[in-house]
A = this chain, B = another copy of it.
């Protein structure tokens, strides 16, 4: 038995002859090492949990932001024979209440480490991570701590980049659609928006901001109302910038239903660079995030952390690049 273990794990000395016999037997019996015994022994399950709670219902699965990251994560993990435990739905805790507990997969020893996408860490979360020394990586948040790894997009600068492009094309009246209470990425982009207005001495108009969920929704009431109100108003923007592609695509769909011409009446920009945006008509002008790269880097960081728990946690930013569609035209 011990010999079998040595053969499988490739450590320790086993006579060539014995090794072959063991391998033969493994083959014949179609034997697989039972991860449970192995894991119970060395406290390592070779599984990384990927978390993405989506509080307002719906799943991450149709949002290319999450799925792009997920793909990058899985590719990298597969290289190292790790598996992904996917966790996006609330579930009952001991008291029978439905809630999303970030640490559950780790606490139950279903995962060695956690990667969190699209959610914000509270200070009490951070305390937990520090106390329990939970290997943790956050994508798209900038928690104020040195006990987690962080992957992020240069949201603020990225947003300014696309604004600068629009500015150079003559746009001065610029709206922001899709500001979301809970999405940190979009909030950062909004900061970029505000700073840009400031830089260029443009006036911030609360009337040009639409606060609404950032998920795809052709019936988004806030957007419909805003476009309707502008129909009968003379102060309206020439450009609608959107917090992400989903909002931009929804806005285009809504505009079309309302018979508003894009980009003739309003130019529109997105942020994310999802494939879907390139199938719209007009094609969306947007910023592309290197999602797969970001996911892979998250996996790399966390695997590395498992090997070297003492190494300091770091933050890594990724730049976004412009995708030129036809939804942004000169004034």
Contacts and interface: CB of A to CB of B under 8 A. Distances in A.
Given A40-B40, A216-B275, A256-B281, A59 B32 contact: no
A18 interface: no
Interface string A60-88: 01101001101100110111010111111
Given A36-B40, A71-B61, A279-B280, A86 B89 contact: no
A90 interface: yes
Contacts of A26: 94
A84 B81 contact: no
A85 B84 contact: yes
Contacts of A107: 30, 32
A45 interface: yes
Contact of A74 (B81, B89, B104, B281): B89
Contacts of A64: 62
A253 interface: yes
Which of A87, A276, A279 has the most B CB atoms < 10 Å from its CB? A279
Contact of A90 (B78, B84, B104): B78
Given A40-B36, A62-B275, A70-B61, A47 B249 contact: no
A81 B92 contact: yes
Given A61-B70, A84-B85, A35 B279 contact: no
A278 interface: yes
A39 interface: yes
Interface in A235-293: 249-250, 252-253, 256, 275-276, 278-281
A173 interface: no
A34 interface: yes
Contact of A249 (B84, B87, B104, B279): B279
A89 B62 contact: no
A30 B127 CA distance: 13
A105 interface: yes
Which of A8, A77, A83, A89 has the most B CB atoms < 10 Å from its CB? A83
Contacts of A84: 85-87
B108 A33 contact: yes
Contact of A35 (B70, B108, B276): B108
A130 interface: no
Contact of A279 (B92, B94, B109, B279): B279
Interface in A81-125: 81, 83-92, 94, 104-105, 107-110
A85 B88 contact: no
A109 B34 contact: yes
B62 A109 contact: no
A40 B36 CA distance: 6
Given A35-B109, A59-B70, A85-B85, 10 more contacts: A26-B94, A45-B110, A62-B64, A74-B89, A83-B105, A83-B110, A84-B87, A216-B275, A253-B279, A280-B281
